[in-house]
Amino acid sequence: MEVTVLGCSSATPTSSRCPSGQVLSISGHLYLIDCGEGTQFQLRKLHINFMRIECIFITHSHGDHVFGLIGLLSTMSLLNRTTKLTIFCHPKLEEMLRPQIAFFCENISFELEFVSLRYDRPQVLQEVKTVYVKTIPLRHRIDTCGFLFREQKKDPNIKSEAIFKYGLTIADIVSIKNGHPYYDTMTGEEVDRTELVREAPEPKSFAYISDTIYYPAIVDEIRGVSLLYHEATFMSDLSELAAKTMHSTSRQAAQIAKMAEVKKLIIGHFSSRYSETDALEAEAQEEFPDTTAVYDGFRIVF
């Protein structure tokens, strides 16, 4: 898995930060999560082939998460994209975008599918051989959700030396991969599985928690993820403002990470009042040491 941050500002762009947007590369799939103003510029600047993006996941319909959509769709059409693109979003956002697409992207060159999200409970969006994706309902001023992305468990690899030693057939190999025991045809004894297979690495996972008030109800949904992104709009001295605007502080983001026992936390969606983010990072690290404050162009492989 690889995550690239396109923008980590909240509400408005600054001279050094664009609004929300991240690209996730997982098991050969390229996903865009949120699409704030400046997204396609950042995609080009960071040398990401946006024509390979298969799906766009929109957490909610505030402008700092969607203002880059129509421009990106227009550019894709101008460049003669032909592969289907799926957008997961609020049904009202589709209603607003359809007339703009008709006006600005007349005779769009590719199939565009909208999938409506629900916000009252988790919703499975994709479940294919390599990837599992579902929503995580959040609490913000409007309907909002986060997203959980998981690699599916890969089959173990049969050791070539075991194939030759035991004369394994195709049927044997399939059976072993499915977890069944194998018995030596000469001795009748069960062969230790470690002699037969190399187990695949544990699947990686990424949780994207967008705009939300401090919300411990999500902890079970994100427990143990390899990487958690959690909004951290303010520091704790502005916790009242955070509650009023239904955002989180950096300390609260770290508390969620700690309760969920995640492997690593990255924070973003910083208020424009902070020209530097070192203090937000330090505050979060007091609760959860393995925390990094992201920046535009930040990239992490995990």
Looking at this protein, which amino acid is placed at residue 188? G
Rounded distance between C-alpha atoms, residue 64 and residue 287, angstroms = 28
Q: Tens digit of pLDDT for each residue in 207-259?
A: 999 999 999 999 999 999 999 999 999 999 999 999 999 999 999 999 999 99
Rounded distance between C-alpha atoms, residue 158 and residue 148, angstroms = 31
Angle at 272 (CA atoms; ends 148, 45), nearest 5 degrees: 65
Half-sphere exposure of 73 (CA within 13 A, CB side): 29
Rounded distance between C-alpha atoms, residue 142 and residue 115, angstroms = 18
Rounded distance between C-alpha atoms, residue 258 and residue 265, angstroms = 9
Domains in the chain, CATH or no CATH each: 2-154+201-301 (3.60.15.10), 157-198 (no CATH)
Q: What is the CA radius of gyration of the chain?
A: 22
The pLDDT of 11-36, averaged and rounded, is 97
Cβ-Cβ contacts under 8 Å for 85 (sequence gap 6 or more) = 53, 54, 55, 56, 73, 76, 110, 111, 112, 113
User: Does the active-site annotation cover 64?
Assistant: yes
The residue annotated as part of the active site, out of 34, 64, 172, 296, is 64
Confidence label for 155 from pLDDT (cuts 50, 70 and 90): confident
Looking at the predicted structure, is the pLDDT value of residue 26 above 90?
yes
Residue-level pLDDT at 160: 94
- Cα dist from 115 to 86, 93, 95, 122, 182, whole Å: 7, 11, 12, 15, 45
Q: Tens digit of pLDDT for each residue in 95-112?
A: 999 999 999 999 999 999
What is residue 95's three-state secondary structure?
helix
